[in-house]
Structure 1
Amino acid sequence: MKQLLTFSLFICMFSGAMSQQNCYWFKHNGDMKRYEACIEAEKAGAYYQFSKEYHEVYDRVIEMDPTWAVPYRAKSVSYLKAGDFINWKKLMDKAVEYDTLSYLPYRAGCRFQFFRDYKGAIEDLLLLKKVTNNEMGYTPNGQYHLDIVLALCYKATGRSEEAIEVIFERFKDDSYEVGIFDYIHLGVLYLEKGEYNKAIEYLKKQEKFNDLAENRFYIAMAYKALQQKGSCLQNLKASKELYQNNLKMHDPYQEPMDKIYLSTIERGLSEN
């Protein structure tokens, strides 16, 4: 259910991000250049996002109002979907230049989520912390707070201590609602550090909050390291059952960090 809600949130946010601006707002405020560019941009809705005609519309919009961030972002999406990081980033850099607060979180989230550009995402996120007074918000699909993304980028670049510190700093915020995978990632960080009891502590919190195949698998690995074979096997069996019931880490567009597969669980069972 929580994963369904997350996916629904993604659809709403993505649709909202791609919808047209209220052109008459620009006219109301006397910005006729942007109003006319906005009216032109509405024509893109008649074309397929990957088509030449779609991009030609936004090329005309950029000529009409080259400091408007929206057409750069709109053109970038087809490159994102195609996995063309170079052209996507050129366009997103322009969008961020002209509307930093709106598009820097999006660029950071995409660099992490779709391109695994962890160093670039860290640069964006640290800048975002400064310009938002540490209120960075969430990834485009709503799955992660951007502080958790920063932590995962630190983890991916070998900075595990900083990753743990960032996660706990976010947890200190009483208004923060723990994300659907947060405790898994924290538990794995401790597991990788060899702090097995702490790993179990946070993976069990995940179990109570949102029990998934991954947290049971990693609990099993912690028990294995502690030479508690019975607990290891018990959690491997639970992991397999959860996986077969589709209770596992999932993202419709990419594979989350720390995700495991049925073959991994079955190998663990055969070895134990």
Structure 2
Amino acid sequence: MEKFPKYFLSFFILVIVSNMQAQVNCNSVEGENCRKACEIYNKATVSQGSRSSQESFDKAIALCSTFSNAYMEKSVPYLKRGDFITWKSLIDKAVDMDPKMHLPYRAWCKFQFLRDYNGALADFDELEKLGLNLNGYFSQNGDYNLEIVKAICYSGLGQKERAISIIEKQLSTKDYNVGLYDYYHLGATYFDVRKYDQALENFERQSKYNDFAENIYYKSKIAKIRNKDYLDLKKIALQRYDAGKNMKDVYTHHFNKIYRVQILEL
């Protein structure tokens, strides 16, 4: 019997850790001006996105031009508002100053917001060159281990078999906690290469963890391809979708997301 994932506990912990990560222990910062910049930064992160917050980050940068966190946090509102040019100029500075700290975030954002698969993969490669294991990092929204994101990037570039290999390896990693959509993406990738037995096997596994509309849609689609009754599954997929049990993200759309109109047209 497969172990139920610790996803929800992991996500709760991730939210706490993410909130803590914005804060810096200023006693560990060298230089009087940089410590002052750190103190300004810590206060500014509480009201991220406000005019006063952005002005505070500017003050921190003026005091300590090498304080990378200030550039990173200043970049975030631009990203969320769709000003990707300004975001990139700021996050690139943060990465140049402290790549180990900021590369995981930049890579995820390239994937999530820009669908820049090559750019995200380049950042993942750079992280690994620095001796860091992607398995220890998660997406900013908590939905994915970055190894899974790496696989999805390859899938987006049409390298489906490579994506399958990475996800399979990650799911077989000892003590790995299965993510919210891991089996679904593996199933969808198998579906793309027309390996329907393997696809269905993973959609069934996904059902044990988190059975949302998109996952049921694919099971219905396989049934239709095989000339089996699929209408009941289609009906359930619609019900789940209308009940809000589908793939959602605050700022963007998930890779392999299915929309209501696609279910209706099945």
User: What TM-score comes out, normalization by structure 1 length?
Assistant: 0.86
RMSD: 2.4
Q: Which runs of 5+ in 1 are unaligned?
A: none
Moved more, 37-46 or 150-159: 37-46
Q: Whole-Å Cα distance in 1 between the matches of residues 188 and 235 of structure 2? A: 19
Measured after TM superposition, the shift of residue 12 of structure 1 is 3.2
1:213 partner amino acid: A
Measured after TM superposition, the shift of residue 133 of structure 1 is 3.9
Residues 105 and 136 in structure 1, CA contact (< 8 A), matched pair in contact too = no
Residues 164 and 189 in structure 1, CA contact (< 8 A), matched pair in contact too = yes
The equivalent residue for 2:152 is 152
Q: Whole-Å Cα distance in 2 between the matches of residues 127 and 6 of structure 1? A: 26
1:37 partner amino acid: A
State yes or no: 1:23 paired with 2:23: no
Residues 196 and 225 in structure 1, CA contact (< 8 A), matched pair in contact too = no
Residues 135 and 145 in structure 2, CA contact (< 8 A), matched pair in contact too = no
Tell me the secondary structure at the aligned position of residue 114 of structure 2: coil
Q: Whole-Å Cα distance in 1 between the matches of residues 187 and 46 of structure 2? A: 48
1:15 partner amino acid: N
Tell me the secondary structure at the aligned position of residue 174 of structure 1: coil
Q: Which runs of 5+ in 2 are unaligned?
A: 1-5
User: What TM-score comes out, normalization by structure 2 length?
Assistant: 0.88
Change (3 A) 1:146 1:22: same
2:252 partner amino acid: Q
The equivalent residue for 1:184 is 184
The equivalent residue for 2:3 is none
CA deviations 1:205-255 (Å, max 9, x no partner) are: 111221111111001111222222x1x223212212222332222222221
Q: Which runs of 4 or more aligned residues in structure 1 lie more than 6 Å from their structure 2 counterparts after TM superposition?
A: 2-7
1:260 partner amino acid: I
Q: Whole-Å Cα distance in 1 between the matches of residues 181 and 154 of structure 2? A: 16
Measured after TM superposition, the shift of residue 23 of structure 1 is 2.2
Identity of aligned pairs, percent? 37
The equivalent residue for 2:265 is 267
Measured after TM superposition, the shift of residue 47 of structure 1 is 6.5
Structure (1 or 2) with the larger CA radius of gyration? 1
1:34 partner amino acid: C
CA deviations 1:22-41 (Å, max 9, x no partner) are: 32343xxx632321222343
Change (3 A) 1:61 1:9: same
Residues 117 and 157 in structure 2, CA contact (< 8 A), matched pair in contact too = yes
Q: Whole-Å Cα distance in 1 between the matches of residues 244 and 238 of structure 2? A: 10
Measured after TM superposition, the shift of residue 16 of structure 1 is 2.6
